[in-house]
């Protein structure tokens, strides 16, 4: 973590001549998402999902014509010999991101059956695959088939390429349903007087933040220290990824760190990340 009077900067290094941030964004801009299932998985009956609550209604409006906001039986799936959870929830199946010629990346933290905190925040009748595809490729307008209603990383890579590479977390766009990781797109029942789902408005947030947060939770997760209260740590200097995962939870006592915490607010059945506050300088 590198600090300035106005903002914090995070530094990444990679053992390649390719600029790491640009390489990751290019990967996501061309990636597709596919469901991962157990080898003996049986598709549920059509429409066999729980009714969505009001906080998810905006997602119903933003669904593409190719998939209603239920379990997508017609979308591709790949069977796994080893599945991360004892049972397979159709709405919480792992997702594989893949780009031709590149190593695939699996997102499965919400289906983690190891006993760790899954940190699954989204709820309602949205599937993980549907959210991932929305963050990657956006959503088409049902009324205007050829037009994009909500932009994903694919569209931002084409339309705002230089800005996205320079400030990947700061390029915001209206989105529908998400993984609920970006507090700039959060809306709760406490926001009296305005309801984006009733007004059929998308809220502006970063699909890059949502996707990369999901990727990061595959390897390291912050610690819940109370009911919906979450803590994490940041530090000065460079650490290899293996140690950085430990440092995030405050597990390296000899490392000077700064402690932050945030609350997981509620929006219907959804948990949503809020802005973090610094606790102390250790």
- Give one DSSP letter per residue of 161-225, joined into a string: HHHHHHSTTT--EEESS--S--GGG---TTSTT--HHHHT-PEEE-HHHHHHHHHHTTT--PEEE
The β-bridge relationship of strands 148-150 and 277-281 is: unpaired
Q: What's the confidence (pLDDT) of residue 239?
A: 92
Nearest to 271 by CA among 69, 103, 101, 56: 56
Q: What's the confidence (pLDDT) of residue 187?
A: 65
Q: What's the confidence (pLDDT) of residue 51?
A: 38
Distance, CA of 94 to CA of 257 (rounded, Å): 33
Q: What's the confidence (pLDDT) of residue 232?
A: 94
What is the token pair recorded at 163?
A: 């800005």
Q: What is the pTM (predicted TM-score) of this model?
A: 0.82
**For the segment 69-104, what is each residue's pLDDT rounded down to a tens digit?**
445 556 889 999 999 999 999 999 999 999 999 999
**Low-confidence spans in the chain with pLDDT less than 50:** 48-70, 189-190, 192-199
Q: What's the confidence (pLDDT) of residue 202?
A: 61
Residues linked to residue 263 through DSSP beta bridges, in sequence order: 229
């Amino acid at each position: 973590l590198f600090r300035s009077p106005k903002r914090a900067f995070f530094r990444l290094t990679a053992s390649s001549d390719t600029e790491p941030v640009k390489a990751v964004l290019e990967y996501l801009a061309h990636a597709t998402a596919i469901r991962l299932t157990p080898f003996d998985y049986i598709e549920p009956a059509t429409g066999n999902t729980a009714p969505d609550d009001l906080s998810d209604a905006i997602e119903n409006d933003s669904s593409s014509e190719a998939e209603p906001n239920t379990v997508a039986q017609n979308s591709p799936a790949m069977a796994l010999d080893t599945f991360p959870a004892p049972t397979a929830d159709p709405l919480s199946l792992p997702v594989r991101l893949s780009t031709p010629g590149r190593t695939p990346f699996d997102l499965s933290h919400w289906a983690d059956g190891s006993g760790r905190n899954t940190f699954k925040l989204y709820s309602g009748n949205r599937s993980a695959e549907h959210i991932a595809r929305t963050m990657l490729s956006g959503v088409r307008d049902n009324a205007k088939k050829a037009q994009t209603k909500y932009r994903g990383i694919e569209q931002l890579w084409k339309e705002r390429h230089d800005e996205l590479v320079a400030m990947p977390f700061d390029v915001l766009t209206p989105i529908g349903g998400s993984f609920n990781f970006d507090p700039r797109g959060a809306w709760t029942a406490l926001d009296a007087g305005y309801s984006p789902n009733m007004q059929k408005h998308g809220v502006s947030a970063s699909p890059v933040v949502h996707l990369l947060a999901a990727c990061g939770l595959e390897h390291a997760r912050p610690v819940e220290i109370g009911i919906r209260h979450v803590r994490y740590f940041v530090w000065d200097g460079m650490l290899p990824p293996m140690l950085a995962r430990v440092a995030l939870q405050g597990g390296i006592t000899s490392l000077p760190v700064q402690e932050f915490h945030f609350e997981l607010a509620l929006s219907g059945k959804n948990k949503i990340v809020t802005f973090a506050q610094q606790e102390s300088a250790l």
